[in-house]
Amino acid sequence: MKRQEFVLRIANNTGQKPFIIQKILREFVKVLREILKSGDEISISGLGHFCVKPTKPKKGRNPKTNEVIPIPARKKISFRPTDGLRKYINS
């Protein structure tokens, strides 16, 4: 599903105009990015838990040359769905 389809579905379900839903969704993504960038976590009831986890530096290998390449430490985004969402998807 594309973003516009998502916005239209929410607009139809709530009776709001699509441009209002679009603004809310855009602001939601903006705030979520800011929260994760600062290193904080966010839990959204009924959806799940977002957090940033650091990874350790490791060694990789170039498959063509078989050369060892260092992979630097970085941050990755982690999402853990709520039990309710997981059960709903699997039912």
Give the model's confidence band at 62: pLDDT under 50 very low, under 70 low, under 90 confident, else very high: very high
Task: Report pLDDT digits (tens) over 63-80.
Answer: 999 999 999 999 999 999
Give the model's confidence band at 11: pLDDT under 50 very low, under 70 low, under 90 confident, else very high: very high
Torsion angle in degrees (nearest 10) through CA of 20, 22, 23, 29: 150
Q: What domains sit in the chain, N to C, each tagged with a CATH number? A: 3-90 (4.10.520.10)
DSSP the chain: --HHHHHHHHHHHHT--HHHHHHHHHHHHHHHHHHHHTT--EEETTTEEEEEEE---EEEE-TTT--EEEE---EEEEEEE-HHHHHHHH-
Task: Report pLDDT digits (tens) over 21-50.
Answer: 999 999 999 999 999 999 999 999 999 999
Q: Give the predicted TM-score (pTM) of the model.
A: 0.77
Rounded distance between C-alpha atoms, residue 21 and residue 8, angstroms: 8
